[in-house]
A and B are shown apart, each in its own frame.
Chain A
Amino acid sequence: MVSRLQAFLIRRLLWALPVLALVSVAIFGLIRLVPGDPAIVMLGADAPPAQLAAVRAELGLDEPLPVQYVDYVADAVRGDLGRSYVDDREVSAAIASRLPTTLFLTAAGFLVSLTIAIPAGLLSATNRGEWLDGVGLGFGLLGVSVPNFWLGVVLLLLFGVTLDWLPVAGYVSPLEDPVAGIRYLLLPGITLGTAMAAVVTRMLRSELLEELRREYLNAVRMKGVGELRVLTHATKNAFIPVVTVIGMQFGYLLGGSIVVETVFSIPGMGRLLIDAIQSRDYIMLQGVVLVYTTFFVAVNIVVDGAYFYLNPKLGGER
């Protein structure tokens, strides 16, 4: 017996397959798109011929393209993303060592953004037209207009250098040392989370304003309950569409983490990616992009599932 939620998730997963397939073709095509011989592009024209030959063999450049693609996908599914030509690391191992850091950073940004956005959106909507609403609206507009890397630099200047309250660079895993971990994650988390906080604040405000006009809230009032209960009903309802936006923003947080890791010198996947680009380590680049994209697609499925689950009209919560 499959529940409606399960059926929905299965449909959604099936839908994700062609997306992932397209993405894998794109990533696969990436290094083959580079003008010229990929091996020379990676290693330079004056690289030893033996090394060039090794690269060509590893990439299977002598095989026809479809064969190369099948090999690539088969390897990727088994977790073999190849070896870096710059320092000979296994790509999957390098990613595995960096992934937790990026996920912690993303989670920190996520927490920060909801911590700001939920109260800000609520206060803005319930004080419509008053100064608090103005603050909320202003934050919503400014938050999406400030590039996160610059916000990071400003926070560094303010809290790291001028006030000297928090570390300016580096990372300590919160699992090893929770206090230091949080101290290191605080500024990056704020930097990463602010733009999303702004987007969610705006969305929550407008959804809640819409919801506050609904008749059922009068029915709730007529039960003789306080306005807080009324607001709870409205907020729960307003949140359903906001969940979708939050999910999409989670993907952007993953993207934003690339920049934030650079600002705060955090050794995550983003640094790996930038280093790979700068050293023309295309194998590494390919692997990192694939992992990012898989996460992004997975998050989208989870979000759609959450939307489905929360909305009883679609057959969810019971």
Chain B
Amino acid sequence: MSDATESDADGTTAAPERPQSPLARRTRTFVRRFRRNRLAMGGLVVTAGFVLLALLAPVLAPYDPAAVDVPARLQGPSPAHPFGTDRYGRDLFSRVLFGARIALQVAVATPLVAGAVGVPIGLVAGYVGGRVDDVLMRLMDSVFAFPAILLGLTLVAVFGQSLTNIVVALGIVYVPQFARVTRGSAVSVVEEEHVRVARSLGASHARIVLVHVLPFCLSAILVQATVTAALAIVLESSLSFLGVGVPSPTPSWGSILRVGKGYVDSGEWWYSVFPGVAIVIAVLGFNLLGDGLRDVLDPRTDPNR
């Protein structure tokens, strides 16, 4: 577990060579505070478990998630089928395990897409300031003017349904939040001593932004990425539940629930319960991790909380 903590921390902060640099100091403090934070560690455990299950799904799943067995359809939980079977007799446990792979892809790819667009926007807005800042942020606000689900639905309706399109759509939905968060940190970092020194030494704008500004925005971006992962899982499953998500044969948690909902009245509760619990656990893990990271990275928070 502690290995994961280390790699997580290293991944966030691209530690520079000089050990006395402020960044290295922040990294060390970060790791120490992270280990002490119950929320963060709890979130890490749950998230790591989720990632592991998703990666090992082909090994762990007792059945082929697509294997139809009509005589065994709509069976309740049993030792043979711990989560029961669906309307074609497919093993729901295997399908939920494979569903984790979809959720994992969404959780990883969405923040990457949103960050790839939003972070540069936020950096430019925060670093350049003035009118550029105004225009960019107003643009972000108008994207934000769409409720996420509405934007997601509309984009998927236009692009067409595929996992790639959904990730791109979700990515667009969360661009403004990355831009906002990055701009917020960038604005405060730009005023700091080391940036002014770099500027007076004649470093290029690109170099200042990449070397002296971006690294100090990473903690806020990391928190945002974690929160976005949680939101993206919820949104993808919502879209799939509405029938506008990942196309049908793929076992996305949302699309399993979409079909399962049709069996609520007739009492096949397992159809709706287990995939939902899977979503809640995965989302809860990222939310815990996000809350924990926020506490850990915010110097004002009380460590005894």
Contact = CB atoms under 8 A, between A and B. Distances in A.
Interface of A: 18-19, 22-23, 30-31, 33-34, 141-142, 144-150, 153-154, 156-157, 160-161, 168, 251-252, 254-256, 258-259, 262-263, 273-274, 277-278, 285, 289, 292-293, 296-297, 300
Nearest to A263: B261
A147 B237 contact: yes
A153 B257 contact: yes
Contacts of A154: 272-273, 276
A23 B151 CA distance: 11
Instruction: Report the 10 A-B pairs with minimum CB-CB distance, sorted nearest first.
Output: A255-B147, A150-B276, A145-B284, A255-B149, A145-B283, A22-B142, A277-B157, A19-B142, A147-B234, A153-B272
B218 to A, nearest CB: 24
B243 A34 contact: no
B243 A274 contact: yes
Nearest to A248: B144
A150 B284 CA distance: 14
A259 B272 contact: no
A18 B141 CA distance: 11
Given A141-B287, A154-B276, A157-B273, 17 more contacts: A18-B138, A142-B284, A148-B238, A149-B257, A150-B257, A153-B264, A255-B149, A258-B242, A259-B238, A259-B241, A263-B261, A274-B153, A274-B243, A277-B157, A292-B147, A296-B145, A296-B146
B269 interface: yes
B148 A252 contact: yes
A242 B240 CA distance: 32
A254 B92 CA distance: 32
Contact of A23 (B145, B147, B254, B276): B145
Contacts of A259: 149, 238, 241-242
Contact of B265 (A141, A168, A255, A258): A168
B259 to A, nearest CB: 12
A299 B230 CA distance: 26
Given A23-B142, A277-B244, A150 B153 contact: no
Contacts of A34: 158
B150 interface: yes
B303 to A, nearest CB: 14
Given A154-B272, A259-B241, A147 B142 contact: no
B267 interface: yes
A225 B230 CA distance: 45
27 contacts: A19-B138, A19-B142, A22-B142, A141-B287, A142-B280, A142-B284, A145-B284, A146-B283, A147-B283, A150-B272, A150-B280, A153-B257, A153-B260, A153-B264, A153-B276, A156-B264, A251-B147, A252-B148, A256-B149, A258-B149, A258-B153, A259-B149, A262-B241, A289-B146, A292-B146, A296-B145, A296-B147
